[in-house]
């Protein structure tokens, strides 16, 4: 049974960066896509990007291009999402979720991490 | 504004059948499979339906999914109080080269 455990809540100043981790256990890490999805307070889900660790190249949502970097460390089965130039409207819960084998396209998201609250405030 | 369109709310009484719709276009729902997620307050979303109409292990048969053209639906029969949650649909979008979600539907059991 695959389990994803994320790092703890963060409070950041506008203009700074945040890096959230997502450690995978209980299954194969390198073959399966790892995605990042965020949810602002009271809002719906928003896909930020994803990558298959063995291929190392991430796909990013156009909205976040240039501001988000998704990486993975196969030695520790951990994925990372770094978001830079933070603004107040980046305040959200950030989730990692496992996707399909060998691709970020199609398939579905299962399981999900528990979520990491990132608060951006002066 | 979400790419996939869901009603913001839905409701029903215990035992009733409720349907939640998810409308998209040929670049997402029309060309890809749809998945559905249930989210209880303060918790992470959880997979409820995949490949339009397949239930993961442990999801009761009273949950069903369907798709026609550029729209998908999630049906819940025999509504129970514990079904109160937010429901989200998702699909890959070939034009955007990314995943898109609906805005979510808050289901209330009256």
- Using the predicted structure, report yes or no on whether residue B45 has a pLDDT greater than 90: yes
The answer to whether A76 faces chain B, any CB pair under 8 Å, is no
The answer to whether B88 faces chain A, any CB pair under 8 Å, is yes
| Residue A46: closest CA among B99, B48, B107 | B99
| Residue B55: closest CA among B36, B71, B42 | B36
Share of chain B above pLDDT 70, in %: 100
Instruction: Give me the pLDDT at residue A102, please.
Output: 96
| Residue B95: closest CA among B32, B6, B2, B52 | B32
The answer to whether B60 faces chain A, any CB pair under 8 Å, is no
Mean pLDDT of the A7-21 span: 98
Q: How confident is the model at residue B1 (pLDDT cuts 50, 70, 90)?
A: confident
* Strands across the sheet containing A116-120: A10-12, A116-120, A92-101, A32-39, A45-51, A58-60
Please state the separation of Cα B56 from the chain's center in Å: 14
CA distance A85 to A69: 12
Consecutive H or E run containing A13: none
Q: Which of A106, A112, A114 sits opposite B92 (nearest CB)?
A: A106
| Residue A60: closest CA among A45, A49, A47 | A49
- Using the predicted structure, report yes or no on whether residue A108 has a pLDDT greater than 90: yes
CA distance B95 to B42: 32
Instruction: Give me the pLDDT at residue A83, please.
Output: 98
Instruction: Give me the pLDDT at residue B40, please.
Output: 96
- Using the predicted structure, report yes or no on whether residue B11 has a pLDDT greater than 90: yes
Q: How confident is the model at residue A106 (pLDDT cuts 50, 70, 90)?
A: confident
- Using the predicted structure, report yes or no on whether residue B75 has a pLDDT greater than 90: yes
* Strands across the sheet containing B63-68: B18-23, B71-76, B63-68
| Residue B3: closest CA among B105, B67, B85, B93 | B93
Mean pLDDT of the B2-28 span: 97
Cis bond upstream, residue A111 (ω within 30): yes
Does the distance separating the beta carbons of A45 and B101 come in below 8 Å? yes
Instruction: Give me the pLDDT at residue B59, please.
Output: 97
Q: Which of A47, A62, A106 sits opposite B101 (nearest CB)?
A: A47
3-state secondary structure of A22: strand
Instruction: Give me the pLDDT at residue A105, please.
Output: 94
């Amino acid at each position: 049974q695959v389990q994803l455990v994320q790092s703890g809540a963060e409070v950041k100043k506008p203009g700074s960066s945040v890096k959230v981790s997502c450690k995978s256990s209980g299954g194969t890490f390198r073959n399966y896509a790892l995605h990042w999805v965020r949810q602002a307070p009271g809002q719906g889900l928003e896909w930020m990007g994803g990558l298959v660790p063995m291929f190392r190249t991430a796909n990013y949502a156009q909205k976040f291009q240039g501001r988000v970097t998704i990486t993975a460390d196969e030695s520790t089965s951990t994925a990372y999402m770094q978001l830079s130039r933070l603004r107040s409207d980046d305040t959200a819960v950030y989730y990692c979720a496992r996707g399909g084998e060998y691709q970020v396209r199609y398939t579905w998201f299962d399981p999900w991490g528990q979520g990491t609250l990132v608060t951006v405030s002066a | 504004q979400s790419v996939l369109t869901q009603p913001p709310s839905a409701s029903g009484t215990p035992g009733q059948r409720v349907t939640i719709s998810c409308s998209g276009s040929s670049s997402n729902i029309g060309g890809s499979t749809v998945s559905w997620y249930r989210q209880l307050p303060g918790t992470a979303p959880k997979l409820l339906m995949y490949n339009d109409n397949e239930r993961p292990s442990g999801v009761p048969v009273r949950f069903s999914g369907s798709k026609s053209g550029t729209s998908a639906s999630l049906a819940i029969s025999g509504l129970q109080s514990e079904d109160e949650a937010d429901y989200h649909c998702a699909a890959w979008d070939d034009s955007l080269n990314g995943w898109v979600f609906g805005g979510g539907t808050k289901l209330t059991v009256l």
